[in-house]
Amino acid sequence: MVPLSYYLVLSGILFACGVTGFLIKRNIITIFMSIELMLNGVNLSFVAFAAHWHVLAGQVFVFFVMVVAAAEAAVGLAIIISVYRTRETLNVDQVNLLKL
């Protein structure tokens, strides 16, 4: 028997690691992976709540989150390839065309 709060704390740790990676990383691919880490943290709390409240809809939501993550990964990686083709870099500090 594991309390629900343990799962929530683990989920929070994963989400916080994702946010930290999003903020401190300079490589655009690693930033994208941090977003996936955040999605995984949220998925864990979805499944934990589904098991806790005995509502299977939480697992279906996880399924939908995975579908959206897959679509996001496909489009996002295509954007990264496009950025690399035009800017010749993966460093987000050098992708500053919209900066004043």
Partner 1 sequence: MISVHLILFLAFGAVCVAGAVNLLVQRHPINSALSLIAVMAALAGEYLLLGAEFVAAVQVIVYAGAIMVLFVFVIMLLNAGVEEQTQGSRVALWFGVPGMLLGSLLVAWVVLRHSGTESVAAGALPGDPIVIGQLLFHEFLLPFEITSILILIAIMGAVVLASKPATSAPAEAEKGSD
Q: How far is the CB of 34 from partner 1 (least distance, A)?
A: 7
Q: How many Å apart are CA 37 and CA 3, to the nearest integer?
A: 23
Q: Which of residues 3-42 bind partner 1 (CB under 8 A)?
A: 3-10, 12-14, 16-18, 20-21, 24-27, 29-30, 32-34, 36-37, 40
Q: Where along the sequence are the contacts to partner 1 (CB under 8 A)?
A: 1-10, 12-14, 16-18, 20-21, 24-27, 29-30, 32-34, 36-37, 40, 43-44, 47-48, 50-52, 54, 56-57, 59-60, 62-64, 66-75, 77-82, 84-85, 90-91, 93
